[in-house]
Structure 1
Amino acid sequence: MNTSFSMSLRRLSVFVILLATLGCQKRDDAVAEPQTITDRLLEDSQFGLLRAAVAYAGVSDALKDGNMTLFAPTDAAFQASGITAESIRAMTPAQVRALVLYHVLYGQVAISAIPSGANSVEMASKGIAFVNKSTDGAVSINNAKLTQTTITVANGYIHTIDRVLVPATGSMLAAIQNNPNLTYLAAALKRVSTSSPALVDMLTSTTAANGVTVFAPTDAAFMMDKVYNTKTAIESANVQTLTNTLLYHVIPGAVFSNQLQSGTYNTLLSGSKLIVTVGAGQITVKGAKNATLSSVKQADVLTNNGVIHLIDQVLLP
């Protein structure tokens, strides 16, 4: 065989082997690189607005490091919540950072690790959120539902949700006192605060693990009531009777509108129940002595210690 030809063939063989080795090395390097939460957001088209918010808030690097769980609203979730790219840019980076971190839970929390029932958790923003796992395994956080299989990444989990989570800004008592449609309820709470401080303390406390839910009669609802239809009547009412009436409007646990089901609910007034009916896009609630159903007029007012649903009647135990 020609010596020159043999040497060329050997050189060609070495070159081919070298190329194959380098190719394998590149493939191995690509496989070895772990995908973080940030990496997944960058490549997944359903998270365009969340990706923009993360970048604007300057938290991209934070979502790469450490173990964490992200409750990730899709673009459809942003749309359903009325939040656009323009409204994100209208906020300051600090405000968007607080919003994004309210969707982050430190630690890797799989669906299987979430306990049944309602549980309050502190998010990375230091705000309180309420995670609920129903008996059929469905999970929601505040008024948002988990919508698809969990995405597992190198530093945690991504749970996709159908609403943007909006942090609470204060206690339940503060939300009532600051709402111009709940001045009669605020007056009623003030009336019982001295003789029955436990009720007011409960509405300001954040130590309860599950929070509470208040069906809050609006001012218009009080004005239609036969007993508490003026603030003068409220200010002179029997304290124990008024306390019992108020306790009848509170149920244990933070129960958002998407978690309410038709049936009876125990109230904080011992031995007394409410009847809730859910259907046709409407939620109604009825007290034992109410002649007609009361409708929920505004749902899911989130506070640090629970949720408020505004209703159009005073409930009668």
Structure 2
Amino acid sequence: MAKILIFFACVAGALSATVVDVLKARREATLVSLIQLAGLETALSGEGPFTVFAPSETAFRRLGSSTLAALKSDPTKLAEILKYHVVSGIYDSSNLTVNEMMLDSLSQQKIRVNYYMYNKHIAVEGARVIGANYRASNGIVHIVDKVMMAPTGTIADILSTNSDLTTLKAAVDAAGLTSALTEGPYTLFAPTDAAFALLGNDTIQALLGETDLLQSILLYHVIHGTLYSTGMHSGALHTLEDVDRERLTASFGGYQVSVDGARVTQKDISATNGVIHVINHVLLPSSLKSAIANLKP
């Protein structure tokens, strides 16, 4: 009888723990301290229900000490970032195995959910769920491996503001694809200015004058759907250029990635309509290489 009473007491105690209590019990000290600093502890201890995507201690270390210090110095901005990690309602892991589902965060910005069947990874705005279904009296907590930052615009918008992608932006404009890159969801492998420079200025200028060829080359850099690094595995990718297939080579979990031999140098730049991965070479479809070689400046 005593053991039964102890069991029910433990269950009752667990069920009375809020999402904040769960975080404290799991020793997510950095997140708890930031919640307190942002003045959100009372709200997250309320009725809810809430689903919290909680960055791990390692996730905050990856963010970097200077970025973390800047957030601590601006509680208003910190609160908005933390609210981006919280959704009204209860979504356990079984509810998150829906690819391209969009959730409304408490910051009023959308969180993209991806489920990658090959490795069974769940990602929220590119952050992998590494611990799931920690129940609380007012919701549920999932641990994620990154601090999520809300996207600042579409893929086209990001190209317009990234100083390393100016040649790509000019090529997209010349090919008439700017509007298409506001649609999606898409994944864009984005060559840097240095990557385009490897083609040579004469080739670049010739391509800018050959709209159809340029468009085909650029479409070869785009795939349907949102493929974050956590969902990557080695294999062939179908692109928006229908004839050829890209060869993606990825270590488990997408820690090291190359596509057609081009190295991904910056992963997982979230956009409102997909994701961008920066690469160090321009991808050239096999079926078009002779046409590219015969270009005249």
TM-superposed CA distance for 1:159, in Å, is 0.3
Other structure's SS at 1:258 match: helix
- Spell out, residue by residue over 1:207-236, the C-alpha distance to the aligned partner (whole angstroms, 9 max, x if none): x4xx21100111111112268744x4454x
- Spell out, residue by residue over 1:270-298, the C-alpha distance to the aligned partner (whole angstroms, 9 max, x if none): 24321100139531111xxxxxx211111
Task: For 1:132 and 1:159, locate their aligned partners in 2 and report how far apart those are by CA, in whole Å.
Answer: 15
Task: For 1:111 and 1:57, locate their aligned partners in 2 and report how far apart those are by CA, in whole Å.
Answer: 27
Q: 8 Å contact 2:116–2:122 — kept in the other structure? A: yes
Superposition map of 1:231-270 within 5 A: 232-235=205-208, 237-270=209-242
Match of 1:202 in 2: 180
Q: 8 Å contact 1:254–1:306 — kept in the other structure? A: yes
Alignment size in residue pairs: 272
TM-superposed CA distance for 1:263, in Å, is 0.2
Match of 2:120 in 1: 137
Other structure's SS at 1:147 match: strand
2:266 is aligned with 1:298 = yes
Name which one, 1 or 2, has greater alpha-carbon Rg: 1
TM-superposed CA distance for 1:62, in Å, is 2.2
Q: 8 Å contact 2:14–2:136 — kept in the other structure? A: no
Match of 2:69 in 1: 86
2:75 is aligned with 1:108 = no
Other structure's SS at 1:213 match: strand
Task: For 1:120 and 1:107, locate their aligned partners in 2 and report how far apart those are by CA, in whole Å.
Answer: 14
Other structure's SS at 2:267 match: strand
Q: 2:26 aligns with which of 44, 51, 56?
A: 44
Match of 1:183 in 2: 166
Q: 1:156 aligns with which of 139, 153, 159?
A: 139
TM-superposed CA distance for 1:187, in Å, is 0.4
Gaps of 5+ in 1: 1-26, 194-198, 287-292
Other structure's SS at 1:96 match: helix
2:157 is aligned with 1:215 = no
The residue type paired with residue 171 of structure 1 is T
TM-superposed CA distance for 1:31, in Å, is 4.8
Q: Which moved more, 1:265-274 or 1:241-250?
A: 265-274
The residue type paired with residue 147 of structure 1 is I
Q: 1:61 aligns with which of 42, 66, 88?
A: 42
The residue type paired with residue 270 of structure 2 is L
Task: For 2:229 and 2:147, locate their aligned partners in 1 and report how far apart those are by CA, in whole Å.
Answer: 15
**Superposition TM-score, scaled by structure 2 size:** 0.82
Match of 2:148 in 1: 165
Task: For 2:78 and 2:241, locate their aligned partners in 1 and report how far apart those are by CA, in whole Å.
Answer: 41
Match of 1:13 in 2: none
TM-superposed CA distance for 1:56, in Å, is 1.7
Q: 2:17 aligns with which of 1, 11, 35?
A: 35
The residue type paired with residue 41 of structure 2 is S
RMSD: 2.6
Task: For 1:110 and 1:122, locate their aligned partners in 2 and report how far apart those are by CA, in whole Å.
Answer: 15
TM-superposed CA distance for 1:44, in Å, is 3.5
Other structure's SS at 2:31 match: helix
Task: For 1:229 and 1:107, locate their aligned partners in 2 and report how far apart those are by CA, in whole Å.
Answer: 54
Q: 8 Å contact 2:52–2:140 — kept in the other structure? A: yes
Measured at CA, do residues 238 and 97 of structure 1 come closer, stay the same or move farther in structure 2, by a change above 3 Å?
Answer: same
Other structure's SS at 1:58 match: coil
Task: For 2:15 and 2:98, locate their aligned partners in 1 and report how far apart those are by CA, in whole Å.
Answer: 35
Other structure's SS at 1:296 match: strand
Measured at CA, do residues 265 and 190 of structure 1 come closer, stay the same or move farther in structure 2, by a change above 3 Å?
Answer: same
Measured at CA, do residues 151 and 276 of structure 1 come closer, stay the same or move farther in structure 2, by a change above 3 Å?
Answer: same
